[in-house]
């Protein structure tokens, strides 16, 4: 019986000598990747961090059945090292797929950041007729507000005050209407963020499976990978369709409630605005 085997059995009987055993086994664990041909110092450190917490369980589970503890330890380390290599390769593939630019691009329907640039004010001044005081004519003011509040997610504080000046509405009242509409849209924004995460995960999984399929020579495994690949494509397609279906603008009913107007007035304002825009374009 080897000295290490005796130390392990003595520890199991009496609970003594644990510190000495852990010191001895730690050195073997740290050196194991190098014995398997690894030339990367990071492998030794990462493998050690993986295995060290499990050494105590290894000591307790050993049973002498004609094989010494050294044999049992090598078997455990071999299995752990293979698991470590698979996890490392999977992590490296995920990292390489995660650097693809498409994963960092927001969904096309995600809102643009709010700004205080006068672009929207200039657009409004060009779209609606102004009176002698520089305000939108009285008959078009409701249309201006409805048109602007459909873009409430992009409106900055400076633009809200500019719209108040163009429409003749009190600035604080218009700010309150914008705040109410943004609060109404919060659930949709959270859903959009959730779906964007699912889309990126599905795309990363698709890239990984395509890489694995390209390297796999076994026909049976290739068939299984092809099935997983098709499921990943369906998941990606569904997530993209769901993102496209998320409402990004407040409804006519919400705008009407925020402005204190009948919903029919908002519907009519939008219909008239669209009709006039088409006539001008023609």
Output 157 or 229, whichever has higher pLDDT. 229
Average pLDDT over residues 2-26: 88
Residue 140: burial class (beta carbons within 10 Å; 0-12, 13-18, 19+): buried
Tell me: do 151 and 211 sit in the same domain.
Answer: yes
Tell me, yes or no, whether 275 and 178 share the same domain: yes
In a domain, 227, yes or no: yes
Contact 144, 124 (CB under 8 A): yes
178 and 67, same structural domain?
no
pLDDT value of residue 133: 75
* Region of 207 on the Ramachandran plot (φ > 0 left; ψ -120 to 50 alpha; else beta): alpha
Cα–Cα distances in angstroms (integers) from residue 62 to residues 3, 59, 77, 130, in the given order: 15, 6, 13, 88
Tell me the per-residue pLDDT of 192-213, one tens digit each, with 9 for 90 and over.
888 888 888 888 888 888 888 8
Range of the domain at 199: 119-281
Q: Looking at the domain assignment, is residue 69 inside a domain?
A: yes
Last residue of a domain, one of 44, 71, 91: 91
Does some domain include residue 210? yes
Domain shared by 153 and 259, yes or no: yes
Tokens of 203: 């795309």
Tokens of 220: 């049976």
Q: 137 by DSSP, 3-state: which?
A: coil
Greatest alpha-carbon pair distance for the chain in Å reads 106
| Total of domains in the chain | 2
Residue 279 clears pLDDT 60, i.e. is over it: no
pLDDT tens for residues 111-154? 444 444 456 777 777 778 777 777 788 778 888 888 888 888 87
Residue 105 placed within a domain: no
Query: Looking at residue 257, what is its pLDDT?
Result: 92
Residue at 99 is within a domain = no
What residues contact residue 56 under an 8 Å CB cut-off, 6+ apart?
A: 18, 22
The verdict on 246 and 162 lying in the same domain is yes
pLDDT, tens digit, 9 for 90 and up, residues 60-93: 888 888 888 888 999 999 999 998 888 887 776 6
CA dihedral sign of residues 40, 45, 46, 51 = positive
Q: Verify that 136 and 68 share a domain, yes or no.
A: no
d(CA 152, CA 142): 15
Kindly state the average pLDDT of the residues 28-51.
Answer: 86
The set of long-range contacts for 101-107, using a CB threshold of 8 Å and a minimum separation of 24, is: 102/203, 103/200, 103/203, 103/204, 106/196, 107/192, 107/195, 107/196, 107/199, 107/243
Same domain (yes/no): 128, 219: yes
Distance (Å) of CA 167 to CA 114, 132, 171, 175, 268? 20, 13, 10, 13, 18
Q: Find residue 115's DSSP bridge partners.
A: 155
Q: Tell me if 153 sits within 8 A of 182, measured CB to CB.
A: yes
What is residue 223's predicted lDDT score, i.e. its pLDDT?
A: 92
Query: How much is the average pLDDT of 19-30?
Result: 89
**Residues 265 and 182 occupy one common structural domain:** yes
Same domain, 21 and 133: no
| Same domain (yes/no): 194, 268 | yes
Q: Count CB-CB contacts under 10 A for residue 55.
A: 18
**What pLDDT does residue 169 have?**
84
């Amino acid at each position: 019986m080897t000295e290490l085997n005796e130390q392990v059995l003595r520890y199991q009987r009496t609970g003594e000598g644990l510190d000495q055993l852990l010191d001895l086994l730690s050195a073997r664990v740290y050196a194991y990747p190098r014995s398997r041909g690894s030339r990367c110092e990071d492998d030794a450190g990462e493998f050690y961090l993986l295995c060290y917490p499990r050494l105590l369980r290894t000591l307790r589970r050993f049973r002498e059945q004609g094989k010494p503890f050294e044999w049992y330890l090598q078997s455990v380390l071999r299995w752990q090292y293979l698991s470590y290599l698979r996890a490392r390769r999977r992590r490296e593939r995920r990292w390489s797929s995660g650097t693809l630019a498409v994963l960092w691009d927001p969904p096309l329907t995600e809102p643009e950041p709010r700004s205080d640039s006068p672009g929207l004010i200039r657009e409004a001044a060009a779209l609606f007729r102004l009176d002698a005081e520089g305000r939108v004519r009285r008959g078009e003011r409701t249309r201006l507000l409805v048109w602007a509040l459909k873009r409430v997610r992009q409106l900055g504080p400076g633009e809200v005050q500019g719209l108040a000046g163009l429409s003749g509405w009190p600035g604080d009242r218009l700010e309150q209407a914008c705040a109410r509409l943004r609060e109404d849209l919060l659930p949709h924004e959270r859903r959009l963020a959730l779906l964007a995460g699912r889309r990126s995960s599905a795309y990363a999984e698709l890239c990984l499976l395509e890489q694995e399929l390209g390297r796999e020579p076994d026909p049976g495994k290739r068939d299984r990978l092809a099935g997983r690949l098709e499921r990943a494509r369906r998941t990606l397609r569904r997530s993209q369709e769901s993102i496209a279906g998320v409402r990004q603008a407040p409804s006519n009913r919400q705008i009407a409630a925020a402005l204190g107007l009948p919903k029919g007035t908002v519907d009519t304002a939008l219909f008239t605005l669209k009709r006039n825009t088409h006539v001008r374009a023609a």
